[in-house]
Amino acid sequence: MTKTEALKMLNPIFCEVFDDDSIVLTEETTAADIDGWDSVEHFNLISAVEAAFSMQFQMREVSGMKNVGEMAEIVAQRAK
């Protein structure tokens, strides 16, 4: 899977978690760009992404992500 493919697959997950169909992700998207992306929703988002891609993020990966592009890169590398 490529990073671009992962990003496209992440978009509907974000829309569902944040209950906002208008979300359009870019590699530069951050929590500041999405209404309601707080620590609780971040946990829900990580759980939803892990379930969708049958993978688990490591704690250092979760705490180190600066934008959606970094998440997409990890997903692309490790998704099954």
Per-residue pLDDT tens digits for 58-79 = 999 998 899 999 999 999 998 7
Per-residue pLDDT tens digits for 26-64 = 999 999 999 999 989 999 999 999 999 999 999 999 988
* Residue in 27, 28, 45 with CA at minimum distance from that of residue 36: 45
Domain extent listing, the chain:
3-78
Give Cα separations from 56 to 22, 30, 36, 74, 80 (angstroms).
Answer: 27, 20, 23, 10, 11
Q: Residue 80: what pLDDT?
A: 61
8: Cβ–Cβ under 8 A, 6 or more apart, which residues?
Answer: none
Q: Which CATH superfamily is 3-78 part of?
A: ACP-like (1.10.1200.10)
Tell me the C-alpha distance between 25 and 68, whole Å: 7
pTM of the predicted structure, to 2 decimals: 0.92
